[in-house]
């Protein structure tokens, strides 16, 4: 709910998309239904902390940088998602095709 991913910028602006993605892998980490779209700072902080603690994902994005602009930089979001994907694969949570 409240997540509609259409691009790598505005779709990630509330922090909920990051939270939804992480919640799908770590449903016991937090109560996604209790999150508010307007609580951007808290959403980003929760998502990035969960990614670091549970997936071992390097903190490539800063909460302050994400809330400073109304629309996140698409290249930054894309880079972070690539790193998160790499960490999830390394933990065996995402299966990849063997070549």
Give the per-residue SS3 of the chain: CCCCCCCCCHHHCCCHHHHHHHHHHCCCCCCHHHCCCCCHHHHHHHHHHHHHHHHCCCCCCCHHHHHHCCCCCHHHHHHHHHHHHHHHHHCCCCCCCCC
Q: What is the pLDDT of residue 85?
A: 96
Per-residue confidence (pLDDT) for residue 99, from 0 to 100: 64
Q: Rounded to two decimals, what is the model's pTM?
A: 0.92
Report pLDDT for 95.
83
Domain locations along the chain: 10-91
pLDDT tens digits, 26-41 = 999 999 999 999 999 9
pLDDT score of 96: 79
**Residues of the chain scoring pLDDT < 50:** none
Q: Does domain 10-91 have CATH number 1.10.418.10?
A: yes
């Amino acid at each position: 709910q409240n997540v509609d991913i259409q691009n790598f910028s505005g779709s990630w602006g509330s922090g909920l998309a990051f939270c939804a993605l992480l919640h799908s892998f770590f449903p016991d980490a937090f109560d996604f239904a209790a999150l508010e779209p307007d609580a951007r700072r808290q959403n980003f902080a929760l998502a990035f902390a969960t990614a670091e603690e549970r997936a071992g994902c390097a903190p490539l994005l800063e909460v302050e940088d994400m809330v400073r602009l109304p629309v996140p930089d698409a290249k930054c979001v894309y880079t972070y998602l690539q790193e998160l994907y790499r960490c999830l694969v390394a933990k065996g949570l995402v299966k990849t095709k063997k070549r």
